[in-house]
Amino acid sequence: MYEFDWSSIPNALPFLWDGMMISLQITATAVIIGIVWGTLLALMRLSPIKPLSWFAAGYVNLFRAVPLVMVLLWFFLIVPHLLESLFGFPRGSDMRLGSAMAGFALFEAAYYSEIMRAGIQSVPKGQMSAASALGMTYAQGMRLVVLPQAFRNMVPLLLTQGIILFQDTSLVYVSALADFFGAAYKVGDRDGRLVELLLFAGAVYFVICFTASRIVRHYQQKLKTA
Amino acid sequence: MITMNNVSKHYGSFQVLTECSTQVQKGEVIVVCGPSGSGKSTLIKVVNGLEPFQSGEIIVNGLSVGDPKTNLSKLRSMVGMVFQNFELFPHMSIIDNLCIAQTKVLHRTQEVARDKGLKLLERVGLSAQAAKFPGQLSGGQQQRVAIARALAMDPICMLFDEPTSALDPEMVNEVLDVMTELAREGMTMMCVTHEMGFAKRVASRVIFMDQGRIVEDDSKEAFFANPRSERAQQFLAKILHH
Ligand SMILES: Nc1ncnc2c1ncn2[C@@H]1O[C@H](COP(=O)(O)OP(=O)(O)OP(=O)(O)O)[C@@H](O)[C@H]1O
Ligand SMILES: [Mg+2]
C-alpha cells in the first residue's frame, strides 16, 4: 500500500506560485495577441483581396494541422537563434518565456481566427449595409458596427478557447520552463513525491478550469436571454 | 436631384434591372411598387451605390454614382436610407445610434451630434427612449429611430425600402405618419411601399416595376385612375382588395 506524504507541498508553495504566474502570463499574452492577430486573419480571410485571403487561409490551415508541441519546440529552438543573429542578443540569454509566448500566440491565433470569422458571419448583412448607407467606410463599418457584435456573440467561445489554452500551457515542460506544471514536476522529482505533486497540480488545474467554464456557461445563458 | 439613364444590372445571367430610366426632382415623393422580385429594392439600392450596376448612368446631386472617381461614402452620407428590418445597431443605445455617423463621418462634436439626435428623437416622439437599446423598443419605435438616424445626417434625399412591411399592423401608421410629415416638409423621397393609402396621400409620382423594368412612371392621379399596363391593373386590383 502506497503511503501518501504531502509534507513537501507547503514548503514548495512559493515556487509553485511563481510557476502559476508564468502559466498565467503565457495564457494572458497568448489570448490577447491571439485574439488581435486572429481577428486580423479573419478580416483578411473574408476580404475580397485574393492574396490576403489566401495568406490567411494558408496560415490557419497550417497551424491547425500541426501539433502544438511541435510548434513550441520550433520556437524554443529557432527563435533564440533568430534574435541572436538579427538583433545581436547575447548568446545563451534565456528566451524560453518569450519563445513560449510567441509560439502560443501565433498558434492560438489560427483558432481565434476561425472563431472570429464565424462571429463576423453571424452578424446580419444588413448591419454593414446600414453602416455604409450612413456614409461609413468599410473599415469604419467593421470596426464600429460589425466587430463589436461579432465579439459579443463570440465571448463564450473565445473564453472557452482561453481555458483550453491555459491547460495547454503545461506543454512548455518540453523546454524545462518552470510553469505551474513544470514546477510541480520539479519539486516532486526532487523530493521523490511525484505522485502527490502531480495529484495536487491536477486538482489546482481542475478547480481553476472548472470554475472558469462555469462562469462562461453563466455568461452564455445571460447572453441567450438578453 | 436624381437622374437614372438606362440603368441595367444583372447577377450572372439573371437580369435584375433592365434599362431603367427616371428622374426625381427636388421635393418630389416617388412611390415604387410592383410584385415581389421585380427589382424594387435593387432600384433604390443602386441610387446610393449600395448595389453596383453594369451599365447606364445615375447622377445624384451632380455626382455620378457609377464613376469610380466618385467618393461613394461621401455620397451615401448625403442620401438617407431606411431599411425593411430597421438595421439599428443593437450594441448601441438609441442616442448613440443617432450620433455615431454624425461624429465619425461628418466629424461633428459629441455635443452637437447629441443635441441634433435629441431634437430628432423628439420629432419622432421618442425622447423618452434615448438611453434605451434597440432591443427594448417595439418595431414601430425602432423604425422611427431609424428614420431619425438617417435625418441626423441632414440628407438631401431619403430612400425607403418597404419601411412598414416588417411591422405589426397596429404600428404601421406611426411610421407612415412620420414619413407623411417629412414629405409635407418638402423632403425628396423614393419609397418602395405597398401602402397605397400613403401613395395616394403624398406621392407625386408612382413607379410600377415588373421583371426588372419600369413599366409605369406616372403622376399618382393617372396611375390610380387608369394604369396603362395590364400587369399594373392586376397588381392594383389585388392590392386594393386587401
Ligand atoms: N445577390 C443576388 N444574387 C442573385 N439574385 C439576386 C440577388 N439579390 C437579388 N436577386 C434577385 O433579384 C431580383 C430582384 O430583387 P429585389 O430584392 O430588388 O426585388 P424586390 O422587388 O425588392 O422584391 P421584394 O418585394 O421581395 O422585396 C429577385 O428576383 C432576386 O431573387
Ligand atoms: Mg425588396
What is the least distance, in Å, from the CA of A29 to any CA of chain B?
Answer: 27
- State mean pLDDT over A6-23: 91
Q: What angle do CA A110, A116, A119 make, to 5 degrees?
A: 150
**Residue B101: CB partners within 8 Å, gap ≥ 6?**
A131, A134, A135, A136, B77, B149, B152, B153
* Residue B56's pLDDT band (cuts 50, 70, 90): very high
Q: Is A148 on the interface with B (CB under 8 A)?
A: yes
Please give the model's pTM, rounded to 2 decimal places.
Answer: 0.89
CA distance B137 to B171: 12
Q: Which residue has the cell 488545474?
A: A205
For atom 3 of ligand 1, the residue with the nearest CA is B11
What tens digit of pLDDT does each residue of A51-83 get?
999 999 999 999 999 999 998 988 888 877 777
Q: Give the E-state strand segments of chain A in sequence order.
A: none
ipTM: 0.92
- The confidence score (pLDDT) of residue B17 equals 93
> Which strands, in side-by-side order, build the sheet including B2-11?
B14-24, B2-11, B55-60, B63-64
Q: Which residues of A touch B76 (CB under 8 A)?
A: 132-135
Instruction: Looking at the CA of residue B209, tell me the nearest atom of ligand 1.
Output: 21
B53 vs A85: which has the higher pLDDT: B53
pLDDT, averaged across chain A: 91
Q: Which residues of B touch A124 (CB under 8 A)?
A: 85, 87
Chain A residue with minimum CA distance to B100: A144
Cell representation of residue B208: 410600377
Tally of residues, chain A: 226
- Beta-bridge mates of residue B33: B208
Neighbours of A29 (CB within 10 A): 17
- The confidence score (pLDDT) of residue A145 equals 97
DSSP-derived letter for residue A142 is I
What tens digit of pLDDT does each residue of B65-112 get?
989 899 999 999 999 999 999 999 999 999 999 999 999 999 999 999
End-to-end CA distance of chain A: 55
- The confidence score (pLDDT) of residue B241 equals 67
CA distance A156 to A212: 11
Task: Tell me which residues have their CB within 5 A of the ion that is ligand 2.
Answer: B 41
* Residue A92's pLDDT band (cuts 50, 70, 90): low
Q: Is A149 on the interface with B (CB under 8 A)?
A: yes
Q: Which residue has the cell 390610380?
A: B224
Interchain proximity A149–B90, CB inside 8 Å: yes
For ligand 1, residues with CB inside 6 Å are: B 11, 14, 16, 34, 36-42
For atom 6 of ligand 1, the residue with the nearest CA is B11
A 77-136 near B (Cβ less than 8 A): 124, 126-127, 129-136
CA distance A155 to B230: 55
- The confidence score (pLDDT) of residue A226 equals 64
Interchain proximity A133–B79, CB inside 8 Å: yes
Q: Which residues of A touch B101 (CB under 8 A)?
A: 131, 134-136
DSSP collapsed to 3 states, B92-138? CCHHHHHHHHHHHCCCCCHHHHHHHHHHHHHHCCCHHHCCCCHHHCC
Q: What is the CATH number of domain A8-225?
A: 1.10.3720.10
What is the least distance, in Å, from the CA of B197 to any CA of chain A?
Answer: 27
For atom 16 of ligand 1, the residue with the nearest CA is B39
What tens digit of pLDDT does each residue of A103-135 get?
999 999 999 999 999 999 999 999 999 999 999
Neighbours of A51 (CB within 10 A): 9
Q: Which residues of A touch B88 (CB under 8 A)?
A: 130
* Residue B229's pLDDT band (cuts 50, 70, 90): confident
* Residue A9's pLDDT band (cuts 50, 70, 90): confident
Lowest-confidence pick of A143-147, A172-176, B59-63, B121-125: A172-176
Q: Which of A127, A132, A148 is nearest residue B76 as measured by Cβ atoms?
A: A132
